[in-house]
Amino acid sequence: MSTSGSVPLPGGPADESPEKLGLFVRELARAAGELHLTRLEDPGEIREKGPKDLVTEVDLLSEDLLISRIQERYPNDSILSEEKGGEISPTGRTWFIDPVDGTANFARANPLFCACVAVAEGQKILHAAVAAPRLGDIYHASLGEGAFRETASGESYPLQVGGAEKLEDSFVGADVSYRHGNDPAKNNILEVFKKCWQVRSIGSAGIRGAWLAAGYIDVSIGTRNTAWDYAPTALMVSEAGAASRTSPAESGPTTPTASSPRTTTPCRKRS
């Protein structure tokens, strides 16, 4: 999914502007985060939708909230969400939503969880927001307009990727799990861990991507990446000054960093 260029925005109000659409994306993520906080000590029913893959009542409530607000404002847009699925429009506008990213953390009242919202037009990601309500931050980006961290008090700070030039100088954010003990990708990731400076296990792909854009980590590794997780990361790190490049990991799993889902090279600033 590309993060360059600009296109008209059909499907919304006639007087819609890119600024209003970006604000709406942030408002959606903020509303979902506020819902998370009201149920932090009461996530409701928790079940496994797959091996070690949890979903709570709050995931479903947050998803309903996000989908209903999008459909009310943009009834012609496509939506792809984590729990209900959906579709990607090949030429029109598509919303990517993860109502609670880091559900396992949320289920234990661990503060590292978030709501992820991104909107794309065809192959271009236009706006994205990651709301981490327990941290009090909303990370957001708009195509060609930069990436920012907004605090609970309303202060806004631009995001800038880190300056590590070598893996040995890098902080690696990694959330990895293997269903089979003999997975050959495990050895490749262990090599990254051995060569980097330090490893951070976060438990939320959305926060991991936002922290990559903010320069808190230099490399992001995940073994269960999805479109609704990767879309916000791709836009935010690009808008935060990351050079655009792709380098294949040697027989490795998906390991997104600056702009590539398959790289173990540190995220690097544009020169």
The answer to whether the annotation marks 98 as part of a ligand binding site is yes
Sheet holding 93-101, edge to edge: 85-86, 78-81, 93-101, 114-121, 124-132, 137-142, 146-151, 156-158
Q: Specify the DSSP element, H or E, that contains 258.
A: none
Cα–Cα distance, 172 to 196 (Å, whole number): 7
Q: Is 44 helix (H, G, I), strand (E, B) or coil?
A: coil
Q: Phi first, then psi: what are they for 86, rounded to 5°? A: 130, -150
In contact, 103 and 69? CB cutoff 8 Å = no
The answer to whether the annotation marks 229 as part of a ligand binding site is yes
Cα–Cα distance, 252 to 91 (Å, whole number): 32
The answer to whether the annotation marks 137 as part of a ligand binding site is no
Q: Which DSSP string corresponds to 174-233?
A: EE---SSTT-THHHHHHHHHHHSSEEE--S-HHHHHHHHHHTS-SEEEESS--HHHHHHH
- Count of CB atoms situated within 10 Å of the CB of 156: 10
Question: Which residue is it, tokens 């009461």?
Answer: 42
The answer to whether the annotation marks 101 as part of a ligand binding site is yes
> Which of 70, 106, 108, 72 has its CA nearest to residue 89?
70
Going along 51-179, which residue ranges are E strands? 53-56, 78-81, 85-86, 93-101, 114-121, 124-132, 137-142, 146-151, 156-158, 171-175
Which residue ranges are tagged as binding site for Mg(2+)? Answer: 82, 98, 101, 229
Which residues sit in the known binding site?
82, 98, 101, 229
